[in-house]
Structure 1
Amino acid sequence: MIEIIESGPFNTLQDLGRPGYRDIGVSASGAMDPLAVRIGNILVGNDENAAAIEVQTFPFSLRFERRIAFAVTGADGNPHLDGSELLAWCAYLAEPGQVLELKQPPRLARSYISVGGGLDIPVVMGSRSTSLRGGFGGNAGRPLATGDRIAVGKDAEITMLPTSGLAVVEPSVALRDVFPAAVDGTLPIRALPAGEHDLFAGDGEAFWSQTWRISSRSD
Structure 2
Amino acid sequence: MTASFLDAAQPHPMHFADGTPNRGLVHLNRVIDHPNIRIGDFTYASSFDPPDDWAVRLAPYTYPGAPEMLHIGRFCQIADGVRIITASANHPMAGVSTYPFAIFDHARVGDYIDQISGLPDTVIGHDVWIGDGARVLPGARIGNGVIIGAGAVVGGCVPDYAIVAGNPARVIRMRFDDAIIARLLPLAWWNWPVPLIAKATGALARADIAALEEFAAKAV
What TM-score, normalized by structure 2, do the two folds share?
Answer: 0.24
Between the two structures, name the one with larger relative contact order (CA 8 Å, sep ≥ 6). 1
What TM-score, normalized by structure 1, do the two folds share?
Answer: 0.24
Question: Which of structures 1 and 2 has the bigger CA Rg?
Answer: 2
